[in-house]
Amino acid sequence: MTTEVASETEVKKEPEKADEQPVAAQQQDGEEEPEQLAAVQDGVTPRAASPHADRKSKEAKGLSRFLPPWLKRQKSLSRTEPSEDREDKTPTEEQQEAPPSEEASPQEAERDESHSIGSADTQPAKEEKGEGSPERIGDGKEEEDLLESKAGEKDEGKLLKLEAEVEKSSLKPAKKMKTVTCQVTLLDGSLLPCELEKRVRGIVLFAKVCEHLNLLEKDYFGLCYKDHADQKCWLDPAKEIKRQIRNCPWQFAFSVKFYPPDPSQLTEDITRYLLCLQLRQDIASGRLPCSFVTHSLLGSYTLQAEMGDHDPDGHCLDYISDFQFAPSQSKEMEEKVVELYKTHRGMSPAQADAQFLENAKKLSMYGVDLHHAKDSEGVDIMLGVCANGLLIYKDRLRINRFAWPKILKISYKRSNFYIKIRPGEAEQFESSVGFKLPNHRAAKRLWKVCVEHHTFFRLVTPEQPPKARFLTLGSKFRYSGRTQAQTREASTLIDRPAPHFERCSSKRLSRSLDGAPGLGMDDQSGAPGQGLTPGAKNGRDPALELSSDSKDLDKTQEDVLKHQASISELKRNFMESTPEPQPSQWEKRLTASPATSLRLRAQAAFEEEVPSSSVLSSPVAVPTGLPAACTTSVSAAEGDIAVGSPPAAAHVVEKALPRADGSSYSGSDAGKTAEDKQKSDTLEQAEVEIEETVVIKEVRKAPKVEVTVPEVVVTIAVTEKEPEEKTGAEAEGRGDEGVTQRGSTSSDSHSESEDEAEYRPQAPGESIDHIKEVPEEEEELAVEAQPLEAEPAAAPPCPTTEEQESPLKDEAQNGHPEMQSPQGSVEEDEEDEGEPKLNGDASRAETEGLPQVICCSEPPVVKTEMVTISDTFAAQKTEISTTEVPIVHTETKTITYEAAQVDGAGDGEPGVLMTAQTITSESLCTTTTTHITKTLKGGVSETRIEKRIVISGDSDIDHDQALARAIKEAKEQHPDMSVTRVVVHKETEVMEEGKD
Amino acid sequence: MASFGNFTHAIVRGIPASLVREALRSSFCEVDLAAAQHQLQLHIGTLKDELGLQVVELLADESLPDCVFVEDCAVVCGDTALITRPGAPSRRKETEAMKSALQELNLNIVEMEDDTATLDGGDVLFTGREFFVGLSKRTNQRGAEILAWAFKDFPVSTLPVFEGLHLKSFCSMAGPDLIAFGSSEPAQKTLKILQQSGNHHYNTLILPDDAAANCVFMNLSGKGQVLLHCTPEEYPNSAKVFETLKDHLLFPVSNSEMSKVDGGLSCCSVLISKTGS
């Protein structure tokens, strides 16, 4: 929650920006501000006010020394830097934060979190100090902030959260919280039992383990677990453990995630010792192949470190076979080990470890995280991720190597993994290389590992996560921990006396390896490279994977699995905007979601109002990649906030309508973005956690801007739906392609869905990040941006509550038929809503000057029944049993804010659905549908962008934040548009406590 | 890496008379047997007398016309020797004598038992940090894989050989992290790939003549960096390039006769570094 709060702040800030644009927006802002202020007073100290002092004081404490001074500075700078706007915003954010009570989770614990969060914001330093991992994250983010304040802020939020959580966990153990006992297998093979609150994030456990180990240089390490498929997954420190592991046992292994290329640069012997233990495991398991001689040499150093000098009178041959020097060791090897061991006389254990590492680091597979794959011809190969780049192996042979500097982009789509290679001296064009992974999860896992490794080893500071744009597809996952450079910097500040630690005998180690609960490494899969540090937001691949693919997998019950699968597919579809399944779901959502209905109304109103015309803009663009991108990133919790602070929600942003396509779309469109996540599933699905960002950025601001004032409707619907559709089918294309093409004007969009994600190592800025957490509940945020030329000012939204669910479908359907582009070219892409092709087409169209209309065909049929109960702010819990999924109990709450103006929309003419895109982010599924409506009446072109964000997660979604963020993003992305409607639809599954 | 090129032993083999007519070659050339034998003796003399290596001389076998090119029969790195499976069927038996010689030296012998694998030592470039295996007419992927398996400690990458018999027909190590490369287009193409796929950044020494890029580098205790390279008589332009190397002890070695049957300087010896015991 905490994190989210931070994010919220950001959101608001953005709105401020919005102020510049449309008058309406300003008005709204104004309203909002007061509230914000109030919130601030409530107890949250405004950041601007006292950041430095707090920090300093905090810094002084414990870990603070660990932090590099410059990092600290940056933080302060970042905070300071923010312009007035920020400050103003800040309060808002805080407000949003404040609402925690609103959040679905009633428990006090949550409140505590929120509070802690608040404190975190104000006093980042403490948090950081408190626990290294959080610090890291924070640092990274903060740095980024400098670069990009907004993004950074978000990050901070996360950090804060994490930190806060950690603190909280430590401070208040579990009163009301349920606790669970987990076991962590340490590198020496021993088990560390930990009592944890069930809801805590990975960072808490990681911090405990590091504390137990007395480890400061922890960025190289991480916790992993085995998922249902027996794949080793890295625990994402930023996400709840429970959501990541699902039903898997609470068993973890502490392991090295990033193998330092030069262990001699590690500051402390204890760190090197732990690395040695990891490498001994790697060697014994065969994951790190060695020659006979090397096995012998490394073994001899192991003996020296653990046994001290060779005792001529001893009978080392008696016990030597208890040590495991190699996957299979011969007597000959043991003799060789002893022979070498004798030569190490006088070497201290630390020296022996250092020598061990000096030899081990040269091994060809040192620190290489291997992944099974097939090349374009279907040949089995292995992809190895290491500090220097990506290695391609066939058998043991390295058939290619792509150093990080050579890689322009890393992406995955479904089970395919792609890298775009920088053209060499001789080549003029970038080339892309594709690989086929066994499944989607594997592709995502590989992608994450690459992102993490690139960031850790190649960057000085973590890249900001991609910023959400209007439509953001795909995973926003970025490594948020410290980079190697940062951790080294931090390590130089370690001034404690070398901690005492016991070296345990590897004899035991080897044994324990066998018996150890799951942690061992999988040779191939297990590899080291995944992100270790807490910093990783998304954590580890595993988490991500889980979320996307895993949804299906994770669930134990087949039904659940299926369900999840369907969900994931849906997401994919949305993301990719594939025609088939998505639309249906999408539409459902629309129907179901009140927001849609609102939109309809709104649209109507707009049409009338809007005079102009012809160009439309953004919505179309959106799909096409054009113009306006509204991204809604909703952090989890926002719904509540939204409710609480309506004003914030509605901002009217004007956007220039970007699309100048030439085509005149006189009718404006209604853009609808639907994001659905149907994740109705239960907590188990943690997958949702995945952050995916779909970026379709941009709207081109076109040249001809019609002064339309777009309205942005933000709908946050939390629904539990069980998607059963298969969306998966189409999704593929859209993300990357669409994005790229679009990119021309404005931005590159990264579309990353669960299915796909892009990462451009070299251009950090491009990416947008949202960090979203998926709570158990699904939330949808729909933001509609409608450009209205005529209506610049968006009246402050009036909060209304709607309970409508169904209407949307109708609209959508209606829209299709009606869609006509002025120019007459109407393209219908049915079934393909979000497809890249669409985007591509659209863009083409733009170029051509011909407007294209894309119709979304019919609404997908949702098998699940939604029962919405509720209204307004107060969340009512209702248990709804879905027919299909009996297990899920849903609580639904819908809150709608509409700008007054909006209401006026004439129902008579439904918008024509020009295009629909679905974007799914990891944590959120976002489906964006753009409806372009041509208004016969006034010849006014209206562009409406509706963005719907569905957040599904196990728990703790900060609705307010999510909403705020969505709004902020929407504004940012569509500066010329106004937010006319915000609908929050919240469905909460009522979990059965017994489970999970 | 520090010990790269620190050789102590060399295995060489005599020239059978059958080489003149039966040795494989890419272009028809008349080989002067006596001259070839003389050049080889000078070569061996340099290794033995000038550089102080312990030289094991295997007897020539008339049934194996190419047997003088011992490099193709084994790849030795550290204490491990991989007995190859030469790409040319007529040369497969050359490995027998090599294997026994290496066993005499107490090396860990690894043999290629896969009938589909072929590997000529001339296609194996060891930089001290990693292996590059040229995929040529004589060496295939499987052979390279087995080499990678044999030398687990090192990364092994493959390189295409666009022209020429072997990878080392146009390149070789000329110093620590210094690779000599021919300037022909095919050689440069391979170099580009090497530079991209290699783990390490290597300096390059570009030579006007591809064949001159085949040299023999050693880093001997007491001698420092030693380089056996082409003579000015054979490749005057390339010899000048070698002469610019200030840190090396240079030994021009005549190889004109052997080059008629596609043999380079490095082909005539297997160099071994036996440290300690």
A654-686 pLDDT per residue, tens = 333 333 333 333 333 333 333 333 333 322 222
Nearest beta carbon to residue A290 from set B133, B152, B157: B152
Q: Average pLDDT of B79-108? A: 94
pLDDT of residue A557: 38
The mean pLDDT value for B210-228 works out to 92
Bridging pattern class, strands B54-58 and B74-77: unpaired
Nearest CA among A627, A620, A634 for reference residue A655 = A627
Q: Does residue A534 carry a pLDDT above 70?
A: no
pLDDT of residue A739: 34
Residue of A nearest to B108 (CA): A292
Closest residue, chain B, to A393 (C-alpha): B157
Q: Which of A291, A422, A425, A457 to mutate to test the interface with B (most CBs of B within 10 A)?
A: A291
With DSSP H G I counted as helix, E B as strand and the rest as coil, what are the percentages for chain B, rounded to 5? 30, 25, 45
Provide, for chain A, the percentages of residues in helix, strand and coil under a 3-state DSSP scheme, each rounded to the nearest 5: 40, 20, 40
Structure tokens at A408: 């322009």
Q: Which two tokens stand for residue A889?
A: 């109990």
Q: What is the pLDDT of residue A249?
A: 86
Q: Is the pLDDT of residue A223 over 80?
A: yes
Residues A565-610 have pLDDT tens digits of 444 443 443 343 333 333 333 333 333 333 333 343 433 333 333 3
Residue B25 and residue B36: Cα distance in Å, rounded?
A: 15
d(CA A156, CA A559): 38
For residues A34-56, give the mean pLDDT.
Answer: 40
Question: What pLDDT was estimated at residue A633?
Answer: 34
Q: What's the length of chain B? A: 277
- A765 touching B (Cβ < 8 Å): no
Could you report the per-residue pLDDT of A473-500, keeping only the tens digit for each? 556 677 767 888 888 887 778 778 877 7
Output A31 or A373, whichever has higher pLDDT: A373
Query: Distance from first CA to last CA of chain A, Å, rounded?
Result: 20
Q: What's the pLDDT score for residue A721? A: 38
Helices (DSSP H) in B78-172: which residue ranges? 94-104, 141-150
Interface test mutation site (partner A, options B152, B159, B189, B273, max chain A beta carbons within 10 A): B152
Q: Which residues of B touch A364 (CB under 8 A)?
A: 130, 152-156
For residue A794, what pLDDT is reported? 38
pLDDT at residue A58 tops 70: no
- Structure confidence at residue A174 as a pLDDT band (50, 70, 90): very low
Q: In sequence order, which residues have a C-beta less than 8 Å from that of residue A148 and are 6 or more positions away?
A: A464, A467, A765
Spatial distance between the Cα atoms of A498 and A511, rounded to a whole number of angstroms: 29
Interface touch B155/A289, C-beta < 8 Å: no
The answer to whether A328 contacts chain B (CB < 8 Å) is: no
Q: What is the mean pLDDT of chain A?
A: 55
Amino acid at A35: E
A80-84, A163-167, A728-732, B84-88: range with highest mean pLDDT: B84-88
Local structure of A801: helix, strand or coil = coil
Q: How far apart are CA A970 and CA A697, in angstroms?
A: 11
Mean pLDDT for the stretch of residues B145-171: 92
Whether the pLDDT of residue B158 is over 80: the answer is: yes
The answer on pLDDT for A134 being more than 50 is: no
Residue B144: the pLDDT is: 93
| Residue in A291, A403, A426 closest to B153 by CB | A291
Question: CA-CA distance, A264 to A354, in Å (whole number)?
Answer: 7
The answer to whether the CB of A963 falls within 8 A of the CB of A656 is no
CB contact under 8 A, B152 and A398: no
Tell me if A398 and B155 make a contact (CB, 8 A cut-off). yes
- Is B153–A426 a contact, with Cβ atoms under 8 angstroms apart? no
Reported as half-sphere exposure (CB side, CA atoms, 13 A), residue A922 has a value of 42
Q: Which amino acid is at A78?
A: S
Active site residue B171: no
* Active-site annotation holds for B268: no
Distance between A403 CA and the closest CA of chain B, angstroms: 8
pLDDT tens per residue across span B115-134:
999 999 999 999 999 999 99
> What's the average model confidence in pLDDT over A856-864?
35
pLDDT given for residue A320 in this prediction: 82
| Whether the Cβ atoms of residue A590 and residue A848 lie closer than 8 Å to each other | no
Q: Which residue of A has its CA nearest to B78?
A: A293
Instruction: Please judge whether B144 and A397 are an interchain contact, meaning their C-beta atoms are less than 8 angstroms apart.
Output: yes
- Closest by Cβ to B153, choosing from A364, A398, A426: A364
Q: Which A positions 400-419 lie with beta carbon below 8 A of chain B?
A: 400-401, 403, 406
Write out the two tokens for A823: 């120019």
Mutation pick from A332, A364, A370 vs chain B, by most beta carbons of B within 10 Å, is: A364
Residue A778: predicted pLDDT: 31
The answer to whether residues B40 and B267 touch, using CB atoms and an 8 Å cutoff, is no
B9, B43, B166, B248: the catalytic one is B166
Residue A825 has pLDDT above 80, yes or no: no
Q: What is the pLDDT of residue A212?
A: 92
The pLDDT value recorded for residue A476 is 64
Say whether B148 and A396 touch across the interface (CB within 8 A).
yes
Pair A931, A605: CB distance under 8 Å: no
Share the mean pLDDT of chain B: 92
Q: Do B79 and A293 touch (CB under 8 A)?
A: yes
Contact A853, A949 (CB under 8 A): no
Q: Is the pLDDT reported for residue A626 higher than 60?
A: no
pLDDT at res. A26: 41
**Counting one residue from A and one from B, how many pairs have CB atoms under 8 Å apart?**
69
Q: Residue A679: which residues within 8 A CB-CB, separation 6 or more?
A: A551, A564, A567, A571, A685, A687, A688, A720, A721, A722, A723, A774, A778, A925, A950, A952, A953
Mean pLDDT over residues A518-536, rounded?
35
Let me know: does A574 contact A919? Beta carbons within 8 Å: yes
Instruction: Give residue A944's pLDDT band: very low, low, confident or very high (50, 70, 90).
Output: low
pLDDT given for residue A292 in this prediction: 87
What pLDDT is recorded for position B26? 78
Q: Return the higher-pLDDT residue of A474 and A615.
A: A474
Q: How confident is the model at residue A319 (pLDDT cuts 50, 70, 90)?
A: confident
Residue of B nearest to A368 (CA): B155
Residue A23 vs residue B37, higher pLDDT:
B37
Mean pLDDT of A356-361: 94
Model pLDDT, residue A164:
52
Is the pLDDT score of A2 beyond 70? no
Higher pLDDT, A992 or A766: A992
Which whole number is the average pLDDT over A334-352?
92
Q: Does the distance separating the beta carbons of A397 and B158 come in below 8 Å?
A: yes
Contact A639, A895 (CB under 8 A): yes
Reported confidence tier of residue A507, pLDDT bands at 50, 70, 90: low
Check A396 against B156: CB less than 8 A apart: yes
B80/A291 Cβ within 8 A: yes
Confidence of residue A272 (pLDDT cuts 50, 70, 90): very high
Q: Which residue has the higher pLDDT, A104 or B267?
A: B267
Give the whole-number percent of chain B exceeding pLDDT 70. Answer: 99
* DSSP 8-state class, residue A82: S
Give the confidence band of A175 by pLDDT, cuts at 50, 70, 90: low
CB atoms within 10 A of CB A876: 13
Distance CA A406, CA A428 (A): 14
pLDDT for position A591:
34
The interface residues of chain B toward chain A in range 121-180, judged by CB-CB distance below 8 A, are 130, 133, 141, 144-145, 148-149, 151-158
The pTM is what?
Answer: 0.54
pLDDT of residue B75: 96
Q: Given a cut of 90, is residue B89 above it in pLDDT? A: yes
Q: Tell me the pLDDT tens digit for each residue of A769-823.
A: 333 332 333 333 333 333 333 333 333 443 433 333 334 344 434 434 333 334 4
**Residue B169 has what pLDDT?**
94
Give A887 or B120, the one with higher predicted confidence.
B120
